[in-house]
Amino acid sequence: MIIAVVGSGVASDELCALAEEVGREVARQGAVLVTGGREGVMAAASRGAHDEGGITVGILPGTDARDANPWVEIPIATGMGQARNVVVVTSANAVIAVGGEYGTLSEIAHALKIGKPVIGLHTWELAKGFTQQDEGVVLATSPQEAVNLAVALAQE
């Protein structure tokens, strides 16, 4: 199973602590962690998963694998800029959004568009009722709950 953690490249200590714990829990549950491979939430989640012995993949916007944070074991340099956001969520069985700015919002939107479960921790709350496509972002209140939801929804 592959779980993507998406979030901003510049994030508060609080969000990074949440993301690191999400990464730890992803690894504990035996899933591969995919992120965008850069700093902030992406680095924190990768560090957490790596410290628990999990496999960490970073899907990078640029052409140089050395742009990955130090906890990415498998850097995938796409050279495709923001289009790499599409790859991050398409490759995942479920997506967990931690905080996030517009880049993260694009990943949430792409994931919902293609029917991937999206779990949110302190992230965008999309207006209920705006769309009939599905139920949108599922909100979690803790890293553990977020990963449990992601794993459960990915298996449906």
Nearest to its own copies of 80, 144 (CB atom): 80
Helices (H), ranges, 39-118: 41-51, 84-90, 102-113
CB of 28 to its own copies, least distance (A): 18
CB of 48 to its own copies, least distance (A): 18
Q: How far apart are CA 80 and CA 71, in angstroms?
A: 22
Residues of this chain that bind its own copies (CB under 8 A):
2, 32, 34, 55, 57, 59, 63, 65, 74-83, 85-87, 90-91, 93, 101-103, 105-106, 108-110, 112-114, 124-127, 130-131, 133
Q: How far apart are CA 33 and CA 2, in angstroms?
A: 6
Given a contact cutoff of 8 angstroms between Cβ atoms, the answer to whether 76 and 57 are in contact is yes
Nearest to its own copies of 44, 87 (CB atom): 87
